[in-house]
Amino acid sequence: MTLQGHDLQGQVIRPPAEAESILLQVSLGCSHNKCDFCPAYKGKRFAIKTPERIAAALDHAAEHLAHVRRLFLCDGDALILPQERLEALLIGIKGRLPQVTRISAYANAKALSRKTGAELGRLRGLGLSTLYLGLESGDDGVLTDMHKWGDVDEHLRQAAKAKAADMKLSVTVLLGLGGRGRARQHAQATGRTLSRMDPEQAAALALMIVPGTPLFERLKRGEFDPQDDQGLLQELYWLLEATDLTGGLFFSNHASNPLRLKLRLPRDKQAGLALVQAALTGQAPLVPQAYRRL
């Protein structure tokens, strides 16, 4: 689908659920941009767009996309904008695009740590309702190894602060991020952390090691032992087994996954585990490699 945005610079990443949203690019790249596994912004220097460029993009959306009711703030670090800029931006969206009923953005723990609960509450009141938080792993050893900003406790604190501000959370984790050596520890710790966060939605993606990332260089040097499909399925089983949500959705339906699930927990948990077990024993088909991608 053609991106619904104007003046989009470089590669633009957005969650699958935002496929039909207006993409309003307010920042470029990621202010951290040091995670070994992430290829998204390696060639893009972090910057914040000028108010004039953002205003021009809003004008374009008002003229051409007045029927679209959802808007996603990009790039990967929009929430790190100064509070005054974010509040003015949300007011501008409401004024220029009154039909928009949902505004969402990526939110890493670093950006959330720079906002107070009261500031998040003001953003929520101005229309920012959904945050996509990349946890990746509930294992501190994996987070440190991958140079992710913030430990597990930090991610739990920031997620709780967002939820207290009435933000909806969609949390992503990465199967295979611990390699074969930390597979069980990574998967089970991640499930326990998701349970403590209790987001409205949790999504498990499969690690794909992309040329140009530090992890790809580690792989070439023999310093990382990646999972095969059987290992990814076993991690998915351990992860789901350890995850308890109070009515949240659990997905493994990203294009990277060998087995795609869409579950409502706790209702569908046992059915999901049974399907993963069937895949592990060859009784349920996997998505062909040719159809898996970022």
Residue 95 Cα distances to 99, 128, 163, 238, angstroms? 10, 14, 26, 47
Contact 218, 157 (CB under 8 A): no
**Mean pLDDT (whole number) for 21-35:** 92
Q: What is the mean pLDDT of residues 105-122?
A: 96
Please tell me the distance from the alpha carbon of residue 227 to that of residue 207, in angstroms, as a whole number.
9
- 251 CB-near residues (< 8 Å, 6+ apart): 201, 202, 203, 204, 261, 262, 263
What pLDDT, on the 0 to 100 scale, is given for residue 45? 85
Measure the CA–CA gap between 59 and 65, rounded to whole angstroms: 10
pLDDT of residue 75: 87
Q: What is the pLDDT of residue 1?
A: 40
- Supply the pLDDT for residue 2: 46
Instruction: List C-alpha distances in Å: 264 to 173, 244, 269, 271.
Output: 17, 10, 7, 10
Note the pTM of the prediction, 2 decimals. 0.93
In the chain, domain spans: 4-285
Alpha-carbon gap, residue 66 to 60, rounded angstroms: 10
Cα gap 22→4, rounded to integer Å = 5
Q: Contact at 8 Å (CB) between 200 and 248?
A: yes
pLDDT-derived band of residue 197, with 50, 70 and 90 as boundaries? very high
φ, ψ for residue 218, nearest 5 deg = -65, -40
pLDDT at 13: 83
Torsions phi, psi for 71 (to 5 deg): -140, 135
Hey, which CATH number is domain 4-285, 2.30.110.10, 3.30.300.30, 3.20.20.70, 1.10.510.10?
A: 3.20.20.70
